[in-house]
Amino acid sequence: MTKVQGTGTFDFKRHHVAEYPDENLTTPQNPPDSIPNSMTLIEIQRDRLTKIAAANWMKGGEEEWPAFDAELVKEIYRTELLVKEGRGGGGRKPVVLQRVMILEVSQYLENYLWPNFDPGTASFEHVMSMILMVNEKFRENVAAWICFYDRKDVFRAFLERVLHLKEEKDRDLSIAEKTNYLVFMINAFQSLEDEIVSGTVLRLASLQGWHSLSYGRFQMELCLKPELIKKWKRMTKKEAKEAKKKGEGNLDIANRLEVKFLRNLVSEFLEVLDSKVFPGDDYEVDDACVLFCERFMEFLIDLLSQLPTRRYLRPLVADVAVVAKCHLSALYTHEKGKLFSQLVDLLQFYETFEISDHEGTQLADDEVLQSHYERFQSFQLLAFKKIPKLRDLALTNIGAIHRRGELTKKLSVLSPDELQDLVCSKLKLVSKDDPWSERIDFLVEVMVSFFQKQQSQREAINALPLYPNEQVMWDESLVPSINYSGEGCLALPKLNLQFLTLHDYLLRNFNLFRLESTYEIREDIQEAVPHLLAYINNEGETAFRGWSRMAVPIKEFKITEVKQPNIGEVKPAAVTAEINFSISSYKTHIRSEWNALKEHDVLFLLCIRPSFEPLSPEEAAKATVPQKLGLQYVRGCEVIEIRDEDGTLMNDFSGRVKRDEWKPPKGELRTVTVALDTAQYHMDVTDIAEKGAEDVYGSFNILMRRKPKENNFKAILESIRDLMNETCLVPDWLHNIFLGYGNPSAALWTKMPNILETVDFKDTFLDADHLMEAFPDFQVSFVNTDGTENLCPHPPFRIKLPKTLKSHAHSLASNNPDVALKKDVDTAGQEKLIVEAYVPPDPGPYPQDKPKQNSVRFTPTQIGAIISGIQPGLTMVVGPPGTGKTDTAVQILNVLYHNCPSQRTLIITHSNQALNDLFEKIMQRDVPARYLLRLGQGEQELATDMDFSRQGRVNAMLVRRLELLSEVERLARSLQLPGDVGYTCETAGYFWLLHVYSRWEQFLADCSANRGKPTYVRDRFPFKEFFRNAPEPIFTGESFDTDMRAARGCFRHLKIMFQELEECRAFELLKSTVDRSNYLMTKQAKIVAMTCTHAALKRKDFLQVGFKYDNLLMEESAQILEIETFIPMLLQRQEDGYARLKRCILIGDHHQLPPVVKNMAFQKYSHMDQSLFTRFVRLGIPYIELNAQGRARPTIAKLYNWRYRELGDLPFLKESVFFHRANSGFSYDYQLVDVPDYNGRGETAPSPWFYQNEGEAEYIVSVYIYMRLLGYPADKISILTTYNGQKLLIRDVVNRRCVPYDFIGPPSKISTVDKFQGQQNDFILLSLVRTRFVGHLRDVRRLVVAMSRARLGLYVFCRRSLFEQCYELQPTFQLLLQRPDQLSLVLTENTPLTHRNVDDPGPSYLVSCIEEMSHIVNTRMHQIYQARLVSYQSSTYQNQGAASMEESVEPVIDKMTMNGSMLENSVGEVGHVDGPEKVRDIEGLADRQVPSLNEMDSDGKVKDGRDRASAMEE
Q: Taking Cα atoms as reference points, which of 259, 332, 343 lies closest to residue 304?
A: 343
Average pLDDT of 1205-1222? Answer: 89
How high is the pLDDT of residue 466?
92
pLDDT in tens, 794-828: 999 999 887 666 544 334 444 443 333 333 434 34
Give the mean pLDDT of the chain: 84
- Looking at residue 1472, what is its pLDDT? 33
Contact 410, 366 (CB under 8 A): no
Question: For the chain, what percentages of helix, strand and coil (3-state, to nearest 5) are there?
Answer: 50, 10, 40
C-beta of residue 601 within 8 angstroms of C-beta of residue 641: no
At 1292 the pLDDT is 96
Q: What is the mean pLDDT of residues 458-474?
A: 89
pLDDT of the residue at 538: 86
Q: What is the pLDDT of residue 1513?
A: 32
pLDDT over 50 at 161, yes or no: yes
Closest C-alpha to 907, from 1138, 1116, 1135: 1116
**Of the candidates 1413, 1391, 1409, 1389, which has an alpha carbon nearest to the alpha carbon of residue 1401?**
1389
> How high is the pLDDT of residue 239?
82
Q: With helix as H, strand as E and coil as C, how does 588-648 read? A: HHHHHHHHCCCCCCEEEEEEECCCCCCCCHHHHHHCCHHHHHCEEEEEEEEEEEEECCCCC
Pairing of strands 831-837, 797-800: antiparallel
Please give the pLDDT value at position 37: 40
Would you put residue 1106 in left (φ > 0), alpha (ψ -120 to 50) or beta? left
Please provide the DSSP assignment of 354-402 as one string.
SB-TTT-PBPPHHHHHHHHHHHHHHHHHHHHHH-GGGHHHHHS-HHHH-
Please tell me which residue, 369 or 45, carries the higher pLDDT value.
Answer: 369
Task: Note the pLDDT of residue 1511.
Answer: 33
- What's the pLDDT at 801? 86
Burial tier of 462 (Cβ tally within 10 Å: 0-12, 13-18, 19+): middle
Cα 39 to Cα 47, 108, 788, 1329, 1333, distances in angstroms: 10, 20, 80, 16, 10
165-191 per-position pLDDT tens digit: 988 766 788 999 999 999 999 999 999
Distance between CA 357 and CA 305 in Å, rounded? Answer: 11
- Which band of pLDDT confidence, cut at 50, 70 and 90, is reported for residue 19? very low
C-alpha 490/C-alpha 488 separation (Å) is 7
What is the band of 941 on the pLDDT scale with cuts at 50, 70, 90?
A: low
- Better pLDDT: 334 or 613: 334
Q: What is the pLDDT of residues 754-805, one digit of tens each?
A: 899 999 999 999 999 999 999 988 889 999 998 899 889 999 999 988 766 6
Q: CA-CA distances (angstroms) from residue 569 to 460, 678, 682, 1274?
A: 12, 11, 11, 63
Is 783 in contact with 798 (CB distance < 8 Å)? no
Number of Cβ atoms within 10 Å of the Cβ of 89 = 18
Per-residue pLDDT tens over the stretch 188-242 = 999 988 889 999 999 999 998 898 999 888 988 888 888 889 899 898 888 888 7
Q: How far apart are CA 1144 and CA 908, in angstroms?
A: 11
According to the model, what pLDDT value does residue 1221 have? 92
CA–CA distance, 139 with 131 (Å, rounded to integer): 12
Q: Are 877 and 1184 in contact (CB under 8 A)?
A: yes
The stretch 1291-1320 carries a mean pLDDT of 93
pLDDT class for 23, splitting at 50, 70, 90?
Answer: very low
Greater pLDDT, 811 or 868? 868
759 phi/psi in degrees, rounded to 5:
-120, 130
Type of residue at 819? V
Q: Which among 133, 151, 155 has a CA at the least distance from the CA of 142?
A: 133
The per-type count for the chain, helices as H runs and strands as E runs, is: 60, 29
Q: Evaluate the CA torsion angle 518, 524, 527, 533 in order and state its sign.
A: negative
- Can you say how many angstroms the Cα of residue 592 is from the centroid of all Cα atoms in its chain? 33
pLDDT in tens, 891-923: 999 999 999 999 999 999 988 888 888 888 898
- Residue 840: is the preceding peptide bond cis (ω within 30°)? no
What pLDDT shows up at residue 88? 38
Q: Is the pTM of this model over 0.75?
A: yes
Give CA–CA dist 1320/1309, Å, rounded: 10
Find the range with the poorest average confidence among 246-255, 594-603, 741-750, 1293-1302. Answer: 246-255
Residue 1446 CB: number of other CB atoms within 10 A? 14
Query: Helix, strand, or coil here: 922?
Result: helix
Residue 711's pLDDT is 81
| Axis-axis angle for helices 713-725, 502-528 (nearest 10) | 160
Please say if the pLDDT value at position 32 is more than 90.
Answer: no
Is the model more confident about 1514 or about 1180?
1180
DSSP 1346-1385: HHTSEEEEEEEEE-HHHHTT-GGGHHHHHHHTTS-SS-EE
What's the half-sphere exposure (Cβ side, CA atoms, 13 Å) at 48? Answer: 8
Per-residue pLDDT band for 281 (boundaries 50, 70, 90) equals low
CA distances in angstroms from 1221 to 5, 932, 1383, listed in the order given: 39, 42, 19
CA–CA separation, 188 vs 202, rounded Å? 10
Q: Which residue has the higher pLDDT, 942 or 1444?
A: 942
Residue 975's CB is within 10 A of a number of other CB atoms, namely 16
Q: Are 1502 and 1302 in contact (CB under 8 A)?
A: yes
Eight-state DSSP code of residue 1252: B
Selected residue with higher pLDDT from 831 and 179: 179
> Closest Cα to residue 738, out of 583, 579, 509?
509
Q: How far is CA 1140 from CA 872, 1027, 1131, in A?
A: 12, 44, 11
pLDDT (mean) for 1388-1408: 91
Residue 1334's pLDDT is 87
Residues 6+ positions from 1029 with CB-CB distance below 8 Å: none
CA angle in degrees (0–180, nearest 5) for 1390-1392-1394: 85
What is the structure's pLDDT at 945? 65
CA–CA separation, 1299 vs 1505, rounded Å? 7
pLDDT at 364: 87
Residue 1036 has pLDDT above 80, yes or no: yes
Cβ neighbour number for residue 884 with a 10 Å cutoff: 22
Tell me what pLDDT residue 1358 has.
95
The reported pLDDT for the residue numbered 404 is 87
Q: What is the DSSP letter of 847?
A: G
Phi-psi category of residue 1249: left, alpha or beta, with phi > 0 → left and psi -120 to 50 → alpha: left
DSSP letter (8 states) at residue 995: I
Cβ-based neighbours of 1269, under 8 Å, separated by 6 or more: 1304, 1417, 1420, 1421, 1424, 1482, 1486
Taking alpha carbons only, the member of 179, 97, 18 closest to residue 1161 is 18
The pLDDT of residue 529: 93
- Give the model's confidence band at 1106: pLDDT under 50 very low, under 70 low, under 90 confident, else very high: very high
Confidence at residue 1072, expressed as pLDDT on a 0 to 100 scale: 87
pLDDT tens across 700-742, in order?
999 999 988 888 888 889 999 999 888 878 899 999 999 998 8
Q: What is the pLDDT of residues 614-671, one digit of tens each?
A: 878 888 888 888 988 899 999 999 999 999 998 888 876 555 555 556 678 888 999 9
The torsion angle over the Cα atoms of residues 472, 478, 484 and 486, rounded to 10 degrees, is: 180
- 1485-1489: Cβ within 8 A, 24+ apart: 1485/1270, 1485/1271, 1485/1390, 1485/1391, 1485/1392, 1486/1268, 1486/1269, 1486/1271, 1486/1303, 1486/1304, 1486/1424, 1487/1271, 1487/1273, 1487/1274, 1487/1303, 1489/1302, 1489/1303, 1489/1305
Cα–Cα distance, 643 to 595 (Å, whole number): 9
The H-or-E segment that residue 1333 falls in is none
pLDDT at res. 940 = 56
Segment among 91-100, 1138-1147, 1152-1161 with least mean pLDDT: 91-100
Residue 106 above 60 pLDDT? Answer: yes
Instruction: Say what the pLDDT of residue 1289 is.
Output: 96
pLDDT over threshold 60, residue 510? yes
Q: Which of 517, 501, 947, 933 is nearest to 711 (CA)?
A: 517
Select the more confidently predicted residue: 1302 or 985.
985
Percent of the chain with pLDDT over 70: 87
pLDDT at residue number 1332: 86
Do 1231 and 1264 contact (CB within 8 A), yes or no? no
Among 492, 496, 466, smallest CA distance to 480 is for 492
